[in-house]
Amino acid sequence: MGILRLAVSTILIACLLNSVPAYSQPSPLITFTKKNITLREALDEIHKQTNYTYAGESIFTQYSHRISISVRNAPLSLVLDSCFRDQPFTYEIVGTAIVVQARPVRDQTVHGWIFDEKKQPLEGVTILVRGEPMTAAVSRVSGEFSIHMHFADDRLVFSSVGYEMQELMPKEGEDAVVILREKIGELSDVVVVHNGYTEKTLKASTGSSDVVGTALISRRVSTSLMDRIDGVTSSVLFNKNIQANTNQSSITIRGRSTIFANPNPLIVIDNFPYYGDIGNINPEDVESITILKDAAAASIWGAASGNGVIVITTKKGKLNQAPKWSFTTSQTVGEKPDLYYQPVLSSADYIDIQQFLFRNKFYNGALSPFQHGAITPAVEIFDAASKGTLSSTDSATQINLLKGQDKRRDLSRYFYQHSLNSQYALNVTGGGAKNNYYLSGGFDENRSNLVRNLYKRATLTGSNTYLVLQDRMEVTTGVSFASSKFYNNNSGVVPGYYPYAKYADARGNPLPINIGFKNSYIDTVGGGQLLDWHYVPLNELKNSDNTTNLADYRINVGIKYAVRKGLDIRAYYQYGWGDSIGSNYQSIQTYFARNLINSFAQYKNGLFTFPVPQGGILDETRNTYAANSARLQVNYQDSLFRRGLLNATAGAEVRDIEGESRRTRLYGYEKGVGSSRPVNYDSSWQQFPNFGTSKIPYLDLNGNTAERYISYYVNGDYTYLGRYTLSASARWDESNLFGVKANQRGVPLWSVGGAWFLSREKFYKADWLSFLKLRVTDGFNGNIDRSTSAFTTAYFNQGGNSYGVGSATITNPANPSLRWEKINIFNAGLDFSFREDRFGGSIDYFIKEGEDLIGESPLDPTVGLTTFRSNVANMSDHGIDFSMHANNRIGNIHWNSILLFSYVEDKVTVYKEKIGPVYNYLGGTSISPIVGRPLYSLFALRWMGLDSKGNPQGLLDGKVSTQYGAMLGSGDLNDLVYMGPLTPRGFGSWRNNLSWRQWGLSWNIVYKLGYVFQRSSILYSYVFTGGSPGSPDYERRWQNPGDEANTNVPSMVYSLDRSRDNFYQNSTVLTEKGDHIRLQDIQLSYDLVRSDIRRLPVSRVKIYLYANNIGIIWKANHAGLDPDYVTGVPNPRTLAIGLKTDF
Amino acid sequence: MNRTMWSFFGSWLLLILAGGLVGSCHKQDFLGKNPNSTLIVPSTLSDFQSLLDNDLVMNQVPALGEISADNYYMGDDLWQIAGTRVQNAYLWKPDIFVGQGSVEDWNFPYQQVYYANVVLDGLGKIKTDNSNLATWNDLKGQALFARAFGLFNVAQLFAPVYDVTSADSDPGVPLRLTEDVQAQVVRSTIKQTYNQITGDLRLAAGLLSSKVLMTFVNRSSRPAALAMLARVYLSMRKYDSAMIYADDALSLSLPLLDYNSLNAGAITPFPRQNAEILFQAQFVNYSSSNSQVLAYGTTSCFADSTLIKSYDSNDLRLVLYYASVGGPGVGLNGSYTGSIFPFGGLATDELYLIRAECKARKGDTGGAADDLNTLLLKRWKTGKFSNLAFSSSKAALDSVLLERRKEMPFRNVRWSDLRRLNKESASIMLTRVTNGLIYTLAPIDKRYVLPIPPDVLQLSGIANNPR
């Protein structure tokens, strides 16, 4: 009623003013800046500067919005236009009067149709009334829409994913027809979230997700898809330093919320979870990658979603598009790895230590003629010199020669090379009125930086969509095929621990090294009847024949049938099959075969017989999986109440993944002929030389696995007035968990969420922040540990027992209270953008509470088992994901900058079981949770300096002590010093893209903060026995009384005191900070399109250079170590040159 | 509600109905599938036999007793690399484990107890009838034997020697009698410990088959159970009982191996499955040690020189049990395990020695001599052995005890014998010289009871042994 009265009175005023004759005068210029003022205040200011008066004040003041304005010497009309934008009034200049008038009222429902450029109806287009945030509608499958218009001059705004926004003022009495044009270029503002079930725009969702689009996927050059998202998404951490036996995943999303169950995120490709090797996916075929982080986003995946979900959507064709060909290629050259990166003991120091040991008679046992085990060359020389068979000058010369040798030199020269990766991909996409297609083929060949290692991959992908039954039914089919082959002939590791080994002489002829048996023994044993027993590293490399073949295919069929407006039924089916065949042929030339044949040789009456046939050995492993997944789903979309929009989905799903693994070994195998020989597995054979008896290794096995799921789910969201969205989901999962009662197989999981489009509120006045949305979600994800069981579980030992019958080992004690793991995730987020989306970003705060987590607790060994897995633990994570982007144009230079920051703090909140002594917790090498600390924490023992004899000191019962065993064995967890988390607390990246005309420059800086690592030092007992290469810290060791003031490196003592070394290794003094910043990569590109050069034979060509793994910019530690590579060698720098062409 | 909504909910209903229909018919089959074909829930008699046939678990004995005993000594170079536990046990240090858990000497016997309990609890759920009763009985006997075997071995190391005067108060070992891992168990008294062991063994002897199957010497039999009873009662110094069970066992006509039939040149002259073995078991392998101290071919591991000197040159045991390993002494040769590792099971020779000792203690010098002669005839070179005769029961006993040591070095009995004989006032003083220092262990010393492993102390809360 109010509006009507307002309208009537305004019209009256307008009529009165109309009688005043108009005359022309130059438009005055206005300068002023005001924030959040009323319309009246603005008009007052205009009046002050221009003397223009205004009329209609009595009514408009209370109905107008507040405005912010900033103008300098702007013409009056422009200023007024912005004052009246989106106001329920309009104005007219009559002479020097500004007449404020109510807008003409229409108050009727407008009906219309939306099509794309090819006249295909567009579904799901959002229709808003400009200036009326309370009204919104969405187009249906038919492209139809209807929306209520209040004012006659209302403009409708049409927006949809992938299309340019359009405005229209519908004519009265006519159906509006709108044609939306496809958007070209990067979808920066309309990002689509694929959760594997449905799609929606990122802006419309209540959940927390990250989307990596095509452009970003193709920014990085790599064969592997997962590399493409490293460092470009917030909250996804790529773990580089993974300790064995700690159940860490190489990718974690928002920290950790499980302990012993599966730690890996779920990977979904084209609607269904993928069970094959992710390496089979060619990144060129991927349209987008969506990372689902919170409960609302991920709970749709139920019991498998506890670690987050990565949804991969492959490229599809489009209707009514001429065939578009595209070809990409790249060549990447990589440096040799820096083998000198890890600080190790020099050959000279190593030999000095060996001499020290020799003098202490450490090698007496090994040197005894009754022992045949290999001894290192230096010890051989010392022995010969002490026996007088070698003169002291000769021995000194030989020792000096050895001191000058470094095995890394030969290793680098003969085992490593520059890597060369070549990638080629060709695809074509297009479509007619009733169908579309995408076809692609890719070929990759990677020459590893290890000599004789190679990887080849060929991929073939095709997908088709047909519209049938008067376009009511959409049928999609897709086939993907990948075949790859690995040649693993070089592990980069040569057995034999002494650092002065030499693999070739000056002319490059291969040399043997001392492993296995003493040279004096090898040269004489068997009187020529045995096979050569020397180990020659270069010959091993030459003779290695180890390959893995992978094949993988997926077939998708999807049917979508529109029952009626807003209601469709969908059915999806996917069949996936994958096969991996590993074949390791170790010919009789290899040490492995020769050693096995020799050690089983039987000596009788001067003759040898050979139970292991004299021939090669072929080991084959084969792992196959077949996955059948089917889903039936109903989608419903309608404005359930006026001004609202309901999206709902419900469905049921069945999945069955059957795996088979098989391993076989053939003895006496000759590759060319394909023949093998039988062996006697049952008899025990005397081992040569004198190692007791042994059976010929029997490795054949065949095992089957099955994972089966039945799930039911509903989820939906309701958006009211375009401003308030409520979402909810529920899911019930059941699986064939082992040894679980039928009624405990299932788990209900759910989520609820809400979003508030604050900037669409009437009262929202912050024009500087044009888009603001608040989101909150809460719900449960699940996780599963397939290794536990409610019943006592055993497995049959391969090959049975020594008496030729089957034997079984208990793996798991009975656990009647076994439950599913549940992870509660609360997420609150804020999305914002301003200056026409030139700046924008989001910030999310999350809390993850893992309940009933499977924990492995040490059991009192008296029980008969040392560990037990049960639902004993709770964990709690909380953190922040922040991302911010800026797009700026400075002259011709376009600058785009993306800052990502994630912070996550996890701690174990409940761990019910008692734990053993402190040594279990040290070094982060096993999972040993302490309540109140992160799951992966570094604990150390208090370092109290060296004593006056160079012995490391710690604290025992509050007193300085050198009782290492007692300190390591303390049961008091308060003796542990918490050094910090082993995984980064804060991490992220800062990516910048600069473009100038055809040139583009992009670089990515990544960082990891707030964590620690433990470095290694000189551990004498391990060096003595060959277990550690030692550390150059040796040179700074305690040698004389008084040194303890200047060094922390313990003295060298002749006693194999492991406890002393273990204490030192795990003391606080060897902890380093992990914080670092790295320049990850730089890309320089030149991009030509036909509009630039008319004679360009193709429509577009882009050439780029890409440098990766460039190096660390800053690091907190002074140990000279890259915290991503505490052990091992950093990834070598690579340089790629690439070409992308569209025809 | 409008029509759209009806059809919307209708479709859902249809879907749920369809899902339910599929579910009710096949869901339980579908979800009942075993997720891994190599996993089983042990529930059949054959499953239980497979558990008991796990020789890597069930046929292992602790090594710490022999390591602490006086049948051998180590050179300094071997001691250096022997590993902390062996180093300290060898020198009878008060703290052997210095905080390091995962002690096989405790864990393996209790693993045997656990397997036995799983089988015993499982057998209770199987209905017996004529077709399976014999197997059921045999399995129950095997499980009871295994439990007693494990408990006895652990009691020899971690509990004081049985003394009738203080058995009610001396701390024994924890008795775990159920597979429930959550069950809380404290240390029993020595009396309870030995009552459990002897009770299990007596029951086992009644259930087990009377024949030793040479093909399955890893499984126990009535002779094995009786031999074990004899060994247990001997360790308790209940010589009457020991003799009864040794006698019972020997009445089952158990053969002795004639050492003349063996190849002294072979590294492992004794077959793993030979006629004399009643129950096969070997010393457990230490995962934490660099070197297997007690094994064939270990450099600088030497047999005690007085022990070596006590063998006659015509005694075949000298060449069969020992071999040159380089250095000043002789090392170990093959054993009844048929491998390089020492034998820790039961064999017929022990029964003769037990019976001889019991007879000697009762003053039956003739009987003692008969048993020794029967045994030694098979140990000496053919034709070289002349029968022994004793003038006094002390002479008989001394001779029996010497022959016991000579017959069964490195058989996991010497440590028990030392404890027992010192109780009998044998006053055996042990001495070691390592790295130039002299270490001794007095006949009656707290260190004859080893400390409880630290992880056990922490996780169970049981009391440690005073050292």
Which of A749, A786, A601 lies closest to A301 in space, CA to CA? A749
- The region of weakest confidence among A731-745, A1120-1134, B84-98 is A731-745
Q: How many angstroms separate the Cα of A820 from the Cα of each of A784, B138, B395?
A: 6, 40, 71
Which of B197, B178, B454, B450 lies closest to A861 in space, CA to CA? B454
* Nearest-by-Cβ selection for B176 from A811, A864, A866: A864
Contact A797, A736 (CB under 8 A): no
Whether residue A803 and residue B216 make contact (CB cut-off 8 A), yes or no, is yes
B290 touches chain A (CB under 8 A): yes
- Decide if pLDDT at A65 tops 80: no
Mapped onto helix, strand or coil, the DSSP state of residue B379 is coil
| Chain A residues 43-82 within an 8 A CB cutoff of chain B | none
Q: Where are the alpha helices (DSSP H) in A377-429?
A: 377-387, 392-403, 407-415
* Nearest-by-Cβ selection for A919 from B99, B218, B456: B99
Q: Percent helix, strand and coil across chain B, each rounded to 5?
A: 50, 10, 40
Query: Please, what is the average pLDDT of chain A?
Result: 86
Which of A1060, A1056, A1049 lies closest to A1023 in space, CA to CA? A1056
Predicted pLDDT of residue A817: 77
Q: Which residue of B has its CA nearest to A709?
A: B31
Whether residue A863 and residue B57 make contact (CB cut-off 8 A), yes or no, is no
Tell me the helices (H) and strands (E) count for chain B, helix number first. Answer: 18, 13
Rounded to an integer, the average pLDDT of A154-180 is 78
A744 touches chain B (CB under 8 A): no
- Decide if pLDDT at A610 tops 60: yes
**Rounded Cα gap, residues A759 and A494, in angstroms:** 64
pTM: 0.78
**Rounded Cα gap, residues B302 and A829, in angstroms:** 74
Mapped onto helix, strand or coil, the DSSP state of residue A431 is strand
Rounded to an integer, the average pLDDT of A1107-1114 is 94
Which of B148, B202, B201 lies closest to B175 in space, CA to CA? B148
pLDDT lower than 70: segments of chain B: 1-26, 288-291, 325-327
Which residues of B are less than 8 Å from A811 in CB distance? 39
For A767-776, what is each residue's pLDDT tens digit? 778 888 999 9
Strand locations in A203-277, DSSP E?
Answer: 209-212, 236-238, 251-253, 266-269, 272-273
Predicted pLDDT of residue A3: 44
- Decide if pLDDT at A1112 tops 90: yes
Q: How many angstroms separate the Cα of A922 from the Cα of each of A912, B2, B148?
A: 20, 67, 37
A969 touches chain B (CB under 8 A): yes
- What percent of chain B has a predicted confidence (pLDDT) above 70? 93
The first and second tokens of residue B168, run together, are: 């009610």
Q: How many residues does chain A have?
A: 1143
B279 touches chain A (CB under 8 A): no
Which residue in the block uniquely carries the two structure tokens 């045991």? B317
Predicted pLDDT of residue B34: 81
Give the list of residues 6+ apart from residue A680 with CB closer than 8 angstroms, or none. Answer: A611, A696
Which residues of B are less than 8 Å from A650 in CB distance? 12, 15
Q: How many angstroms separate the Cα of A214 from the Cα of each of A234, A283, A406, B55?
A: 17, 9, 47, 58
Q: Which residue has the higher pLDDT, A145 or A405?
A: A405
Which of A378, A420, A424, A383 lies closest to A401 in space, CA to CA? A378
pLDDT band at A647; cut points 50, 70, 90: confident
Which of A131, A101, A129, A106 lies closest to A7 in space, CA to CA? A101
- Residue A887 pairs in a beta bridge with A896
Predicted pLDDT of residue B16: 56
Which of A445, A541, A456 lies closest to A491 in space, CA to CA? A541
Rounded to an integer, the average pLDDT of A249-272 is 86
**Rounded Cα gap, residues A661 and A622, in angstroms:** 6
**Rounded Cα gap, residues B140 and B137, in angstroms:** 5
**Rounded Cα gap, residues A294 and A106, in angstroms:** 44
Whether residue A652 and residue B176 make contact (CB cut-off 8 A), yes or no, is no
Rounded to an integer, the average pLDDT of A525-544 is 92
Strand locations in A274-404, DSSP E?
Answer: 286-292, 309-314, 321-334
Q: How many residues does chain B have?
A: 467
**Rounded Cα gap, residues A224 and A216, in angstroms:** 14
Query: Residue A1021: what are its φ and ψ, rounded to 5°?
Result: -65, -30
Which of A672, A671, A316, A268 lies closest to A464 in space, CA to CA? A316
Whether residue B32 and residue A742 make contact (CB cut-off 8 A), yes or no, is yes
Name the packing angle between helices B104-123 and B133-158 (round to 10°). Answer: 150
Whether residue B37 and residue A914 make contact (CB cut-off 8 A), yes or no, is no
**Rounded Cα gap, residues A77 and A90, in angstroms:** 12
- Decide if pLDDT at A57 tops 60: no
Whether residue A705 and residue B37 make contact (CB cut-off 8 A), yes or no, is yes
For A305-330, what is each residue's pLDDT tens digit? 888 889 999 888 888 778 889 999 99
Buried b (16+ CB within 10 A) or exposed e, A67-76: bebebeebeb
Identify the H or E element spanning B113: helix B104-123
- Decide if pLDDT at A7 tops 50: no
- Decide if pLDDT at A9 tops 50: no
The first and second tokens of residue B92, run together, are: 């009878």
Rounded to an integer, the average pLDDT of A1085-1113 is 86
Predicted pLDDT of residue A377: 94
**Rounded Cα gap, residues A780 and B267, in angstroms:** 64
| Chain B residues 181-200 within an 8 A CB cutoff of chain A | 181, 185
Predicted pLDDT of residue A16: 37
* Nearest-by-Cβ selection for B454 from A866, A917, A1025: A917
Q: Specify the amino acid at residue A710.
A: I
Burial class (CB in 10 A: 0-12, 13-18, 19+), A296: buried
Mapped onto helix, strand or coil, the DSSP state of residue B451 is coil
**Segment B189-194 long-range contacts (CB within 8 Å, at least 24 positions apart):** B190/B155, B190/B159, B190/B160, B190/B162, B190/B163, B190/B166, B191/B167, B193/B151, B193/B155, B193/B159, B194/B155, B194/B162, B194/B167, B194/B232, B194/B236
Q: How many angstroms separate the Cα of A556 from the Cα of each of A199, A435, A575, A759?
A: 18, 16, 7, 41
Predicted pLDDT of residue A185: 38
Predicted pLDDT of residue B279: 97
Distance between start and end Cα atoms, chain B:
85
- Decide if pLDDT at A5 tops 50: no
Q: Which residue has the higher pLDDT, A925 or A443?
A: A443
Rounded to an integer, the average pLDDT of A1006-1019 is 94
Predicted pLDDT of residue A24: 42
Rounded to an integer, the average pLDDT of A277-297 is 86
Mapped onto helix, strand or coil, the DSSP state of residue A565 is coil
Which of A709, A201, A269, A212 lies closest to A480 in space, CA to CA? A269
For A454-495, what is each residue's pLDDT tens digit? 999 999 999 999 998 888 899 999 999 999 999 999 998 888
Whether residue B98 and residue A965 make contact (CB cut-off 8 A), yes or no, is yes
The first and second tokens of residue A728, run together, are: 């909810």
The secondary structure of B18-35 as a DSSP string is HHHHHHHHHHHHHHTS-S
Whether residue A792 and residue B18 make contact (CB cut-off 8 A), yes or no, is no
Whether residue B458 and residue A916 make contact (CB cut-off 8 A), yes or no, is yes
Query: Residue A33: what are its φ and ψ, rounded to 5°?
Result: -130, 120
Q: How many angstroms separate the Cα of A1 from the Cα of each of A11, A110, A134, A331?
A: 16, 21, 18, 71
Pairing assessment for the beta strands A132-138 and A97-102 based on DSSP bridges: unpaired
* Nearest-by-Cβ selection for A564 from B4, B77, B174: B4
